[in-house]
Chains A and B, each alone.
Chain A
């Protein structure tokens, strides 16, 4: 394989997984929603993209439609659980992911059932090289990543971001201060699902093929590791986590060609992931990067302006 293509491929996947981990971070990191079915919303995005692009809908509309479909379904799936404790949402979306996988497996008319279906690349230039295709993909993925990141940075550094963190910390207290926790949670879950759906569309068009087996629960937990490792409630942490886990993935893939292990490397990788999560939870639950503080212009104005000076004078 062309080493440059290998590196470019890595860059694309880091971008796509960064989108996934950002989407989990807004749900779990900021709002305290345990989405154990992230893969379901990636799947919805991927399948919506595929079905629409196969009837020649322009790629950007396919991406948007995937995000919207994910958001709507996410909203309805989360709805019965939003007034209950966090564990109900976790169980319901985990189960939903499994059901969804069964549906796309059993229904052959949806994108080929178990056999999967090819996906046409979003932008194809006649006679282009693999390198050029990669470059186009990088541009597309990183534009989407940049927009998602910007959106989430704005959101988390606003009064809204403060409210969802407050609900995460103590839902009863937030409710007693006039915050409708079910409404906020539904919004965040829909938004997170939309971003995951966007990522799913990009994933499908980059791999140019989808089948139900690509959307195993393992994908969900890979995304969880990224967020836990990088630092929940920190958007930079989500990016860092995605990069690190992808790097580890690549490293493991290269290493297994040179090192003979008593354990099958495919199994070993997930055993290591599991142990890693437990160790992180035990010894560094805040992840590598600490939670970012809410930054709105107001807070700064208080402390850069006259008020702070006056305080010092007291």
Chain B
């Protein structure tokens, strides 16, 4: 049975009078891959940032699993199972790749001051479990050989993969990905999406911004098209692709 995970109701966000997101409403249900496309500057990343609590919405409400999250801060939203992989990777540059992954680990007693100092036994097992999980994900992303290198030394593509890895590491219910395949080599991009499809089978849901439409349209179940802060079109990928207004949005008046 599908349940509504994320419900966005009339969200607006403006910066100094300019609406980046203008009254968007949409639903995201579980067990699917959802796509969000649109030209540059159409407000896609702003929408994600607003959902995640990085920006405060000016109007409207956001619900996650029937709970209003409009005014929550990012770490509270993370705790509910909604996780974000940034468009421009935000890595912890001086930490090594494995540590970057481990920061994303959930419910780790060692993250707490007193436990980390005085009850080291209580989290050591969890730490090993998380490290094994992290290595598994890194292997999947073909980053395992770099586990001990500082994240600051990764190439652009590798950084994107690690950003995705951090998201997966957080065992999300819904993972928001902002252009995961940008800058990643084409074959790896496809296998990344294949893996996303596998994970989707296990119950994890995805909401993905992607400019590489050929990839997204092969895998997404439903696609929203954004233009100038609004949803202008939605539907199954083949329907969207054939809609004449879709090309109008992308090519503008050229």
- Judging by beta carbons under 8 Å apart, are B131 and A158 in contact? no
- Judging by beta carbons under 8 Å apart, are B95 and A165 in contact? yes
With A178-B75, A178-B106 as given contacts, are A170 and B91 in contact (CB-CB < 8 Å)? yes
Judge whether B117 is part of the interface by a CB distance below 8 angstroms: yes
Q: CA of A297 to CA of B126 in the docked complex: distance in angstroms?
A: 11
Judge whether A106 is part of the interface by a CB distance below 8 angstroms: no
Residues of B within 8 A of A165 (CB): 92, 94-95, 99
Interface members, chain A 77-94 (any B CB < 8 Å):
none
Stretch from A66-74, A222-230, A300-308 contacting the other chain: A300-308
Judge whether B86 is part of the interface by a CB distance below 8 angstroms: yes
Return B206 CB to nearest CB of chain A, in Å: 17
Among the interface residues B93, B100, B131, which one has the most CB atoms of the partner chain A within 10 A? B131
Interface members, chain B 75-108 (any A CB < 8 Å):
75, 78-79, 83-84, 86, 90-96, 98-100, 102-106, 108
Could you show 24 A-B contacts with beta carbons less than 8 Å apart?
A159-B105, A159-B116, A159-B127, A160-B110, A160-B113, A160-B117, A161-B116, A165-B94, A169-B91, A170-B92, A172-B74, A174-B92, A175-B74, A177-B104, A178-B79, A178-B104, A181-B75, A233-B94, A293-B99, A294-B99, A297-B128, A299-B99, A301-B131, A311-B144
- Judging by beta carbons under 8 Å apart, are B54 and A159 in contact? no
With A173-B91, A176-B52, A176-B54 as given contacts, are A158 and B116 in contact (CB-CB < 8 Å)? yes
Interface size class of A (residues with CB under 8 A): 35 or more
Interface size class of B (residues with CB under 8 A): 35 or more
0/1 interface trace, chain A 281-314, chain B, CB 8 Å (1 if under): 0000000000101101111011100010001000
Return A155 CB to nearest CB of chain B, in Å: 6
- 15 additional contacts (CB under 8 A) given A169-B91, A170-B91: A154-B116, A154-B117, A154-B120, A159-B108, A161-B116, A165-B92, A166-B92, A169-B92, A169-B94, A170-B90, A178-B106, A191-B113, A296-B110, A298-B128, A299-B99
- Judging by beta carbons under 8 Å apart, are A172 and B112 in contact? no
Return A304 CB to nearest CB of chain B, in Å: 12
Residues of A within 8 A of B37 (CB): none
Interface members, chain A 133-190 (any B CB < 8 Å):
151, 154-155, 158-163, 165-166, 169-170, 172-181, 187
Judge whether B73 is part of the interface by a CB distance below 8 angstroms: yes
- Judging by beta carbons under 8 Å apart, are B111 and A179 in contact? yes
Return B90 CB to nearest CB of chain A, in Å: 4
Residues of A within 8 A of B90 (CB): 170, 172-173, 176
- Judging by beta carbons under 8 Å apart, are B84 and A302 in contact? no
Return B47 CB to nearest CB of chain A, in Å: 15
B73 to chain A: closest residue by CB: A175
Residues of B within 8 A of A307 (CB): 132, 135
Q: CA of A151 to CA of B91 in the docked complex: distance in angstroms?
A: 28
0/1 interface trace, chain A 106-142, chain B, CB 8 Å (1 if under): 0000000000000000000000000000000000000
Residues of B within 8 A of A154 (CB): 116-117, 120
- Judging by beta carbons under 8 Å apart, are A178 and B92 in contact? no
- Judging by beta carbons under 8 Å apart, are A294 and B127 in contact? no
Q: CA of A58 to CA of B75 in the docked complex: distance in angstroms?
A: 44
Residues of A within 8 A of B170 (CB): 177-178
- Judging by beta carbons under 8 Å apart, are A298 and B111 in contact? no
Grouping DSSP codes into helix (H, G, I), strand (E, B) and loop, the B interface class, with mixed when no group exceeds half, is: helix
- Judging by beta carbons under 8 Å apart, are A302 and B131 in contact? yes
- Judging by beta carbons under 8 Å apart, are B74 and A299 in contact? no
Q: CA of A151 to CA of B99 in the docked complex: distance in angstroms?
A: 21
Indicate which residue in A151, A175, A291, A301 contacts B75 across the interface (CB closer than 8 Å): A175
- Judging by beta carbons under 8 Å apart, are B117 and A301 in contact? no
B112 to chain A: closest residue by CB: A160
Return B130 CB to nearest CB of chain A, in Å: 7
- Judging by beta carbons under 8 Å apart, are B130 and A166 in contact? no
Indicate which residue in A151, A172, A191, A311 contacts B145 across the interface (CB closer than 8 Å): A311
Closest 9 CB pairs of A and B: A159-B110, A160-B116, A178-B78, A173-B90, A298-B127, A158-B116, A169-B92, A298-B131, A175-B74
- Judging by beta carbons under 8 Å apart, are B113 and A173 in contact? no
Residues of A within 8 A of B123 (CB): 159
A190 to chain B: closest residue by CB: B113
Q: CA of A173 to CA of B128 in the docked complex: distance in angstroms?
A: 23
Among the interface residues B91, B113, B145, which one has the most CB atoms of the partner chain A within 10 A? B113
Judge whether B148 is part of the interface by a CB distance below 8 angstroms: yes
Q: CA of A302 to CA of B147 in the docked complex: distance in angstroms?
A: 10
Q: CA of A158 to CA of B103 in the docked complex: distance in angstroms?
A: 11
- Judging by beta carbons under 8 Å apart, are B110 and A174 in contact? no
Q: CA of A180 to CA of B120 in the docked complex: distance in angstroms?
A: 21
Return A285 CB to nearest CB of chain B, in Å: 12
- Judging by beta carbons under 8 Å apart, are B78 and A298 in contact? no
Residues of B within 8 A of A302 (CB): 98, 128, 131-132, 135, 147
